[in-house]
Structure 1
Amino acid sequence: MAAEGQSIAWWDGVALFVPGTVPGDRVDVQVTRKRKGYAEGYVVRYRQLSDLRQEPVCQHFDVCGGCQWQMLPYTQQLQMKQQQVADQLQRIGGLGGAQIEPILGATPTLYYRNKLEFTFSPRVWKAYGAVPFEGRSSNALAMPNDTTEDPVVGQRLWEALAEGDSELSPAVGFHAPGRFDKVIDIHHCWLQGGESNGLRNAAREIALTHGYSFYDAKTQSGWLRGMMVRTTTLGQTMALFVFAHDDPSARAQFLSEIAHRFLGVTSLLWCINAKVNDTLYDCEMHVYRGQATIEEQLGRLRVVIGPKSFYQTNSRQGERLYNVVRQLAGLKGSETLYDLYTGTGTIGLFLANDCQKVVGIETVPEAIEDAKRNAERNGIANATFYAGDVLELLDADFVAREGRPDVLIADPPRAGMHPKVVEKLLEIAPQRMVYVSCNPATQARDLALLKAAYQVTGVQPVDMFPHTKHVENVVLLERRNL
């Protein structure tokens, strides 16, 4: 299985990447692209299904694309993610000898997300067919009994499945993979529990009853645009509804019905987004009922989360991830700790009682304000947070002012660290670094740049997102005695 969730076959002396398959499937493939060393293609016919397959639990599995690996047992998913980490470290990082601990699986594997965002659209997206399978149909593949072997027809079926069709029927759900203007109408999502499914379905029902228009991304017209649901392990729920323009009468009616049906929503918010893009960071938030924020418990911390806050989307597994960071950091109480790409400061604040000083840097100013509020709320006085680019802030003057770090934690975005940031880390030369990554490939790339001065002494994969191709990886680096 490749890092992006596609299976690999060998054809004509090169690696052939095929989506929609798992190891052990026997398929006919139409090759669409051939490059030096690899090729890509799509399935035109399934001859035999792998014994590894299981029936996905979600009715939207075939078209949604969110939980790419639901057709695999969870134990098999973990094995593949573990292997992905090992392959990336060896192939990209040149760290084939690194000792990798067994991956930490998640519990539960369903309803584990604390945040989901849904889109309203006047055009429901439908896929019209599927790739034929010899002998029977399978819910795992949503295959009809059509068993044509014509590769042209097979290609059209695959393209139909990939492109889908949109018709004038309102939908509330997720964007179709790779399509900004097409939305899959989601009736039940297994990613988030609590009030999430009820809120989304009620919003659709209320809107249709009153004839409220759904926002069309192509024509940039319509009223109801999006919604976000956040939940916490403390039983608190935030529901945010996004409107393309304000209609005070319709808004009051819509939110009143939501509030009446869902008394358990502790934070009912709304905002106006008249921009072309969907980002909400520059939108003003309004409280209809309840509080402007919700709270989550993270170890000893009580964290305040707003509609714009970044927070680990798997609360229970997030705490396990932070405990791994704590263990690998090996703090004794006297250290200066740098927390780069700190987000809302949760890792730094989680470790603040274990060290003398925490210094956090984050690009998003709103996230830094959240970090400061959470520090104050939890009585943490030894943490300082700065808003700005790590590349620009982390210079000699900054280190002279804040002190050279004994331990440094980096949790960059999927793109990894800028090469010049890596150079700065080599200049600052902390004794230990803990590198948290949601992309083992870019992490391995950065580790290759650090390995001359640092030795990898600990690797711990953590599965934050069951049934997806994604895996988190935590690496401990210790400075070599050069």
Structure 2
Amino acid sequence: MRVVIEKMGINGEGIGYINRKPVFVEGVLIKEEADIEITANNKTYAVGKVKKIVKTSEHRVKPKCKIQGRCGACPLMITDYEDQCAVKEANLKQALIKYAHVNPRLIKKIIPSENVFNYRNQLKLPFSMNEERELVTGMYQPNSNYFNEIDHCVIHDQDLEQTRKAVLKVLNDYRCRSYDYHQKKGFRSLIIRMIDGRSQITLVTGEEELPASMIEAIMQIKGVVSLWQSVNTIKKTPEIFGPKLVLLAGERTLDIRMDDLKLQLSPRSFFQLNTLQAKRLYSTAKGLLKEHYGLIVEAYSGVGGISLYLKDKADEIIGIESIKDAVVNANANAKLNHADNVSFICEDAADKLTYLSKKREIDLLVVDPPRSGLDDAMLETILRSKIREIVYISCNPATLGKNLDILLDRYEVKVVQPVDMFPNTAHVESIVLLCRK
């Protein structure tokens, strides 16, 4: 069966139509023609698998990764970077128009990434054993139990990749094995964060004590400043970290600088994965704010990066975060940056925002929620409040569009600025400025 690809989906798949029914096909681009096999046929859509590409897009390029298309992380690596940005802009516009009827003229050109490869400052990868019975890291093929060993990841920072390989060598020298769910022993995941050549390593394991000599060997790897162990024996969990996290050697935090801002990150701390683009994201958000505010509140404030970056834009800034470790980090970062007007509290965001909006006049709310977007409680709280302006930082066009559809009952969109934080992937970050009607 032959199909012509007419547009790209939000997950980087091509979309064609057969008898007016959309068919989702991975590994194809707009204007390409492909012979496909239908693998799923539902009432409203179908899924196809490419057998042969008959007509190729002028934008198609050979991917630099050996397992592109199998690991699922970088579906857009098959097209040139200019086209990647065009796809992301189109998907963002489509979502915001479809769900919230946003005027497309308000959506600006995407801010491209300076680095298309070697930009990612952190990895979180599961362990497995290869055919030679060596411990390896990789990724599971989407919707399957098939494990793809990663020989070299081209979107990882080069120092990050070298450190990953060096850690694996040490673990294999000590004949370490991947996690056994029955024995609750072994190595489950590897987490490394790399900032300016300095790395923070976390080994997620079962219930076992790591040899002192192995710890020392890992600490001898170039650039390593700390080694942590997280014990996770929960059988079925989406969480990579276990409840127990122990510093085995080195420094408790990893430092990062953004302009005049200095942040300290612990292993569980959330921070943007593209350091250079994070600076552009923060500076762009700050550039949208044309006045000095009395009170800014940030929900989902994490380690405080955005609040502290905006410290000179308000008399007072309050960050709200539900994860205790992040709040401890954030308040330490406020002290580190002499930000006496910035404080962070550990509470549910919607509950605390409700309380604050009744007691204080909030001039600006900053939200940077997870991919699931703002929940119903937060949306209701915002609508009931009299907050003048909102900066909404989103990593998911679909949930952003759905949230805006609700918020536009009381607010209007002033500008939407997409930022490409993750080249070669289908993800796009967006900054939206809203003002109360």
| TM-score, length of structure 1 as denominator length | 0.83
Structure 2 counterpart of 1:287: 248
| Aligned counterpart, 1:474 | 431
CA spacing shift, 1:287–1:89, aligned 2, 3 Å: same
Q: What is the letter of the counterpart of residue 79 of structure 2?
A: L
| Structure 2 counterpart of 1:463, from 403, 415, 420 | 420
Residues 426 and 321 of structure 1: is their aligned pair in 2 closer, same or farther, counting only changes over 3 Å? Answer: same
Instruction: Name 2:356's counterpart in structure 1.
Output: 398
Query: How far apart, CA to CA, are the structure 2 residues paired with 1:311 and 1:448?
Result: 28
Question: Does the alignment pair 1:316 with 2:276?
Answer: yes
Quick one: distance in 2 between partners of 1:57 and 1:437? 28
1:40-439 → structure 2 map (5 Å cutoff) = 40-122=47-129, 124=130, 169-178=133-142, 182-217=146-181, 219=182, 221-233=184-196, 235-248=197-210, 251-260=211-220, 262-276=221-235, 277=237, 278-280=239-241, 282-288=243-249, 290-332=250-292, 334-395=293-354, 397-401=355-359, 403-439=360-396
Q: Distance in 1 between matches of 2:145 and 2:24?
A: 28
Q: Which deviates further from its counterpart, 442-451 or 47-56?
A: 47-56
Query: What secondary structure is seen at the aligned counterpart in 1 of 2:17?
Result: strand
Could you say if the C-alpha distance between residues 181 and 204 of structure 1 is closer, same or farther in structure 2, counting changes exceeding 3 Å? farther
**Equivalent residue number for residue 443 of structure 1:** 400
Query: Which residue number corresponds to residue 132 of structure 1?
Result: none
1:463–1:346 Cα change, 3 Å: same
Q: Which residue type is aligned with residue 100 of structure 2?
A: G
Indicate the SS of the match to 1:394: helix
CA 1:474 to 1:110, structure 2 compared with 1: closer, same or farther past 3 Å?
same
Structure 1 residues 181 and 19, CA gap change in structure 2 (3 angstroms): closer
Q: Secondary structure at the match of 1:266?
A: strand
Deviations along 1:398-455, whole A, 9 cap, x unmatched? 3244x22111111111111122322221221222111110001111111111223211
The alpha-carbon distance between structure 1 residues 182 and 27, as it changes in their structure 2 partners (threshold 3 A), is: closer
Alignment of 1:17 onto 2:24: yes
Q: 1:169 Cα shift?
A: 3.6
Q: Distance in 2 between matches of 1:59 and 1:322?
A: 34
Which stretch shifts more, 262-271 or 319-328? 262-271
The amino acid across from 1:58 in the alignment is C
Runs of 4+ in structure 1 over 6 Å off: none
Paired residue secondary structure (2:203): strand
How far 1:36 moved relative to its partner?
4.7
Give the AA of the match of 1:380. Answer: A
* Contact residue 329 and residue 433 of structure 1 kept, 8 A: no
1:252-296 Cα distance to aligned partner (Å, 9 max, x none): 232222233x132122333433333453262222232x3121100
Distance 1:93 1:240, change over 3 A: same
TM-score normalised according to structure 2 size: 0.92
Residues 291-319 of structure 1: CA deviation (Å, up to 9, x unaligned): 12110002221000111111111111011
CA distance in 2, matches of 1:47, 1:17: 17
In the alignment, the residues of structure 2 paired with residue 37 and residue 183 of structure 1 have an alpha-carbon distance, to the nearest angstrom, of 31
Supply the distance in 2 between the matched residues of 1:441 and 1:103 (Cα, whole angstroms).
17
Whether contact under 8 Å (2:119, 2:156) holds in the other structure is: yes
Query: 1:30 maps to what in 2?
Result: 37
The C-alpha deviation readout for 1:208-258, integer Å capped at 9, x for no partner, is 3332222245x455422322111113x32212223312234xx22322222
Residue 28 and residue 466 in structure 1: after superposition, are their counterparts in 2 closer, same or farther (change >3 A)?
same
| 8 Å CA contact retained: 2:190, 2:203 | yes
What RMSD, in angstroms, separates the aligned Cα atoms of the two structures? 2.1
Q: Is the 8 A contact 2:230 2:243 kept in 1?
A: no
Question: Residue 5 of structure 1: SS of its match in structure 2?
Answer: coil
On the 8 A contact 1:361/1:389 being kept in 2, the answer is yes
The 3-state SS of whatever aligns with 2:412 is: strand
Distance 1:32 1:391 in 2: 43
Structure 2 unaligned spans of 5+: 1-7
**CA 179–222 in structure 1, closer or farther in 2 if over 3 Å, else same:** farther
Residue 100 and residue 303 in structure 1: after superposition, are their counterparts in 2 closer, same or farther (change >3 A)?
A: same
Maintained 8 Å contact 1:439/1:472: yes
Q: Max radius of gyration: which structure?
A: 1
SS of the counterpart of 2:119? coil
* Superposed displacement of residue 372, structure 1: 0.8
Contact 1:456–1:478 at 8 Å: present in 2 too? yes
Post-superposition Cα deviations, 1:53-96, rounded to whole Å, max 9, x if no partner, equal 10111222242221111111011000110111111111111114
Structure 1 gap segments, 5+ residues each: 125-166
Cα distance in 1 for residues equivalent to 2:341 and 2:436: 26
